[in-house]
Structure 1
Amino acid sequence: MKFKLYILFFLLSTSLFAQKVTTSVDVTKNKIGAEFKLTLKTDVDTLSKVKFPEAKNFGALEVIQSYKIDTIRNGARYELIKRYGLTQFDSGKYVISRVPVLINGKPVFSDSIKVEVNDVKVDTLKQKMYDIKNIAQVESPLGTWWIYLLILLAIAAAGYFIYQFIKKRQNQPKAEVIVFKSPIEKATTLLQQLEVKELWQKGEIKHYYSELTDIARNYIEEEIHIPAMESTTSELIDGLRRAAKQKKLKLSNETVENLEKVLMQADLVKFAKVKPLDYEIEEDKKRISSSIVIIHKSIPEVVEDDDELALWNEQQKELARLQKLKKQKRVRIISTIGIVLGMLLLFVLGLIYFKGFDYVKDNFLGHPTKDLVEGKWVYSEYGNPGVRVETPKVLKRIDATKTLPKDAMALIKEMQTFGYGSLLEDFYIAVSTVTYKQPMQMDLDKTAEGYLKIMEAQGAQNIIVKTEDFDTQKGISGKKAYGTMTVLDKIKGRSTKMYYEVLLFSQNSGLQTILVMHREDDKYGQQIAERMLNSVELQTAQE
C-alpha cells in the first residue's frame, strides 16, 4: 500500500513540475516604441506536447516579433524557451497579462509582469527638424536583371537583321563596270547615253548642259592631260591652245571657238538661268561631238600592238575589281560601326527609360562626388586644437592667411587650414584651427558672418544664411551656419548655385571651423556632408 502511494505521489509531483511556466522580461522600463522582450520557459518530458500562444497583443502591449522556440535537452527532459517582442506607443504603466501555454492540451498560465513606458524628451531648439522623406522604392522580387537581358536580346536581334540585310545587298549582282579602251570610246558612248536620257526634252536643260560639258572636259583631261575639270571656261581654252602648240596638235581656230561657245552657253544656263531654244541645244550637241572627234584626230597616232592593248585591258579590269572590293570593305566597316553605335544607343535609351537619366549619367558618364562617396574614407585629426573628422580624401595643408584682413591676423597666434577642392569647384572641404594671442570670448554668430564675408571676397554672391546650435556626439557645443550661395568663376565665365554648411566651435584660446560645400542639386555631395558633420569630434583647448 505504501509503495502504491509512493508511486502516485511521484507521478503527481512529476506532472505538477512539468506544468510550470517561468515568466521573465529583459527590462521593466523602456522608451516609447522600444522593445520589451518577454520570455516563457517550460520544462517537460520528451513525450509532452507544448503549444505557445500566437496572439497579436498581450494586454495593452503589441506583439511586434514572435521568435523561434529554443530547445535545450537535459537528459530525458526538454526545456522549451519562447520569446516575444512587445512594444507600446503611448507612455504609462502597463501589465503584461497572463497568457496560456497548452501542455498536453491543458492550459498553464504565465505570470503577469508590470512594465513602464516613458516619453522621449525632444529639444526642438537643439535638434534640427527634417522634412518627410520621399517614398522608398521597393525592389521587385525578381530584381531588374531580366530587363537588361531583354534589352540586350532586342539589340542583338536588331543587329543581326541589319547585318543580314547589308550582307544580302552586297551579295546582289551589280551592274558590271564598263571598261573603255580609250578616252574617245568613253566620250562617244557617254554622249549616246546622254541622248537616250532626253533630259532637255523633259525640261532639265541645266542638267543636260552640265553632263554635256562634263563629258567634253573629262575627255580633254584624259586625252590631252590638262586639268579641264577644275578649270574655268577661259582657263580651259587657254590651256587647250597651249597644249596644241606644245604637242603639235592639228587644231583649227574654228574647232576651239566652237568648243568655247558651248562652254560659255553652258555657264549661262547653269549660272544665269538662260534657256536656249531647241535648235540651239541641237547645235551645241553637234559642236561638242565634232570638237571631240577633231581633237581625237589631231593627236598623233601611237601604234600599239595587241599584247599591250590586252595588258592594258587586264590592268583596267583589275583596278576596277580592287576598287569594288575596297568600297565593299568600307561599307562593311561603316555598317559595323553603325550597328555597334545603334546597339549602344538602344541600350542607353533602355537604361534611361527604366532607371532614369541621372542613373545613366552617374554610372556611365561619371560623377565626381559619387566616386568620393563610394571610395575609401579617412578618419584623421587636423590642426591645433585638433579637429577629428572623417573625409573621403586626406585634406592637404593650404595657406589661408592671405585671405584674412591684417587687423585679424594681428590677433592670431597660429592658424592652420586644410582643404580639398576649391571655392570655384563643385565640391569643397576646409578645416581650420586658430589659436589667439590673448584669451577672448567669441560671439559665434558674428564669427559666422565674418567667415562668410571672407568667402564673399573670394567670389561668393547672394549668400543666404541660417544658423542654429550644434552639439558633437560628445556634447561639445558650437554653432552651425548653413544655406546657399552663388559662386562666380570669372575665368570660365560661369556661376554655380552651391549649398554650404559651416560648423564653428569657440574655446578659451582658439576657434575651430569645418566647412563643406557642394552643388545645390548634388545628392552625393549632401551624403558626404551628412557623414562628415556627424563624425566631427574636437580636441579641447585644455587637452
Structure 2
Amino acid sequence: MKGRNKYILIIFFVSFLTGVSVRSQTVEAIGLLSDDSISIGQQIGFELNLKIPEGFHVQWPQWSDTLASNLEILHKGNPETLPADKDGNVWMKQQMVLTTFDTGWIYIPGIDIQFAPAGDTIFYTAQSNPLMLRVETVAIDTTGTFKPIKDPLAEPITFAEILPWIIGILGLATLLFIIVWLYMRRRNKVKPLDPLVKPGIPPHIHALNQLEELRLKKLWQNGKVKDYYTQLSDIIRAYIEAQFPVNAIEMTTYEILAGLQPMNINSDAISKLANAFELADLVKFAKAQPSSMENDISLNHMIDFVNESHFVVQPTINVENGKEESL
C-alpha cells in the first residue's frame, strides 16, 4: 500500500511539470487511462491529449507495437484536432486500446511531443504525465473440479465456403442432363421413313426401287443437294443392314466399310460405295459442292454396289465343328 502511495505522489508531482510555457503561451500534454486496474489479458483505453496555441507546429509521436514494457497497443485511432477555444488554444488527442499479459504494476512513462511556435524553427518538447496501471491475475477456484476443454465456437458458414459446392452440384447436374439428353436423342433417332425391307420384297429390289424414286425427285436439280445425298446415304445404309449382319444405320462410313470387309464383295463395288459415301459425308458437313456429273455418278455407284453385292454368299461359322461355311 505504501508503494502505491509513493507512485501516486510521484505522478502528482510530475503533473505540475507537464505544462511548458513558451513566450507566455502554455503547452500542456496529458495522458489518461480509462481505468486504474485491469485483469490480465483485459483491454483498456488510453488517451493522449495536447493543449497548444492555434498555429503551432506539432510533431506527433510515432508509435511502435508497445506503449510501455509489456503493454501492447491493439488499436490506434487517428489524431484528432478540436476547434480552438476562446483563448486561442486547440486540443489534439489520440485514443488507443491496450492490453497486457503480465501482472503487477506497470509504469507508463511520460510521452514526448515535439512542437514549435508559428514562424519558429526551434522545436520544444512537452511531456505527458506518467501513469501507473495495476494488472491483476484471474482468481482460480481451487475447490472446484476440473472441467473439460470447451468445444470451439461454431462460426457461421459464409457464401464463399459453399460456392465451390454449388458450382460442383450445378456442374454434375449439367453433365447428367447432357448424358440423358444424348441417350434419349440416340434412342429416339428418326429412322428412314421407308421400312428397311418390305414384306416379301428382297432388300436389293427394295433399295433399287428407292434409288430410282430418288432419281425421279430431282432434288439436286432443284438446289436440294444436301437432302439428295442424305436420302442416298440412308437408302444404302438400310440396304446394307437388311442384306448383311452390319448395323449400318448407326455406323460411320469407316465402320460400315470395315464391317463389309469379310463379306466377299468385290473390291470395285466397295470402292464405288466408299467414293459415294465419302462425297455424301463432305456434302453433309458443307465441305464440298459436287458437280452435276458427280451427283449422277454417286447414284450410279450406289446402284452398281447393290447389283454387285446382293448375290454375295456371306461367310458364317459352324459353331459345332468350328469350320467356316457359306450361308
Q: TM-score, normalised by structure 1?
A: 0.28
The higher-RCO structure (CA 8 Å, 6+ apart) is 2
Structure (1 or 2) with the larger CA radius of gyration: 2
TM-score (norm 2): 0.43
